[in-house]
Amino acid sequence: MALPDQMAPFHAPGGPVGVLFCHGFTGSPASLRGWAEQTAEAGYTVSLPVLPGHATVWQELNVTSWRDWYDAVDAEYRSLRETCDTVFVAGLSMGGSLTLRLAQHHTDVAGLLLVNPALGAVDPLARFAGVLKYLVPATPSIGNDIAKEGVDEGAYDMTPVAGVHELHKLWADVRSCLDLVTCPIALFRSEVDNVVPGSSSDTVLRLVSSDDITEVRLANSYHVATLDHDANLIVKTSLQFIERVAAAHTA
C-alpha cells in the first residue's frame, strides 16, 4: 500500500508558471507525486490535490458526482491563476478527462499533459454501471495496472459502481466538446493498457482543435505509466514541453 504521506495533497510554491496535477479514478496523489515533485524541483509552482471521494474509503465514491471532481480541479486551477501568469494542467486517466474539460472552459490554459486519458473503459460491463449500481455496490479494483513490480498508486481495493456511472457522465460531457480544446497538448499513451482502451487517446487526437500536439508512445508501461518504467521519460518530455510552450506563451 502507498504510504499516507504519498497519498496526501502536494503543493509547492515556485515561479510564475504553474502546473496543476489531476489523479485518476479510485486513485490518489501517490500516482503523480514523483512527477509533481520533480516539476516543483524544476522551479514551477505545483498543485496536486486529492479529488473528492478519493484517498478515504471506496464507499465515498458511490456518493460523489463527477461535478464534484471537476469543481475541485476548477477551484485549484483558479487558485493557481491568481498567483501564476501561466498554468499547465496534467492528468492521468480520469484526471486527463478533467484536464480536457478545464481546457474546454478556460481558454487561458497554457497546455495539457495527458497520460492515458480516459474517455472509455476496457471492461465491457462498465457501460452498464447505471443499472448495475442498483445490484452491486462495487466490483474488483482497477488500480495498480503497473508493469513495474513493488509500486503502489494508493488506489481503492474495490471499484465503486455508482462512481463508474458518474465517470461515464463525465466522459460523455467531455467528448461532446473536444473541439473547444485549442491549447498545445503532450499526450503519453502506453502500448499496453488494461484499463483504458487506445480509442480514448485516438478520440482526443482526432477531435481536439489543437495544432500543437506531441504524442509519445510508452513501450514499457501499463496504465499508471507515471509510476512505471517510463516515468522518467514522462517527466523529461513534459518539462521540455512546459519550457517550450511557456516561452512561446509569454513571448
Q: Distance (Å, rounded) from C-alpha 160 to C-alpha 177?
A: 27
Whether 51 contacts 29, CB under 8 Å: no
User: The C-alpha cell of 99 is what?
Assistant: 484536464
Band the pLDDT of 2: cuts 50, 70, 90.
low
Mean pLDDT of the region 49-65: 94
Task: Give the Cα separation of 127 and 47 in Å (integer).
Answer: 32
Q: State residue 29's pLDDT score.
A: 94
- Mean pLDDT for 37-59 is 96
pLDDT at position 121 is 87
The span from the CA of 198 to the CA of 196, in Å, is 7
Q: Confidence band (pLDDT; 50, 70, 90) for 12?
A: very high
Inform me whether the pLDDT recorded for 106 exceeds 70.
Answer: yes
Each residue's pLDDT tens digit, 227-247: 999 999 999 999 999 999 998
pLDDT, tens only, 69-99: 999 999 999 999 999 999 999 999 999 999 9
| Three cell numbers, residue 245 | 510552450
- Average pLDDT of the residues in 211-218: 96
Task: Determine the average pLDDT of the residues in 35-40.
Answer: 98
Q: List the single range of 4-13, 56-65, 160-169 with lowest mean pLDDT.
A: 4-13
SS3 45: strand
Q: What percent of the chain has pLDDT over 90?
A: 84
Q: What pLDDT shows up at residue 124?
A: 72
**Residue that wins the pLDDT comparison between 67 and 129:** 67
Is there a contact between 56 and 156 (Cβ–Cβ < 8 Å)? no
pLDDT, mean of residues 181-199: 96
- The b/e string for 91-121 (b: 16+ C-beta within 10 A; e otherwise) is bbbbbbbbbbbbbbeeeebbbbbbbbbbbbb
Whether residue 46 has pLDDT greater than 70: yes
What pLDDT is stored for residue 88 in this prediction?
98
Chain mean pLDDT for the chain: 93
Q: Which residues are bridge partners to 12 per DSSP?
A: 46
Q: Which residues are catalytic?
A: 93, 193, 223
pLDDT for residue 187 is more than 80: yes
Work out how many domains the chain is built from and give that number.
Answer: 1
Please say whether the dihedral angle defined by the alpha carbons of residues 242, 245, 247 and 249, taken in this order, is positive or negative: negative
Closest CA to 101 of 208, 200, 193: 208
Q: In angstroms, what CA-CA distances link 141 with 92, 110, 145, 173, 179?
A: 17, 34, 10, 25, 33
Percent of the chain, pLDDT > 70?
96
Question: Any idea what the CATH number is for the domain that residue 11 is in?
Answer: 3.40.50.1820
Shortest CA distance to 97 belongs to which of 156, 39, 38, 181? 181
Per-residue pLDDT tens digits for 124-183 = 777 767 777 888 888 888 899 999 999 999 899 999 999 999 999 999 999 999 999 999
Q: Is the pLDDT of residue 251 over 70?
A: no
176 lies in which domain range? 4-250
CA 246 to chain centre: 20
pLDDT category, 248, cuts 50, 70, 90? confident
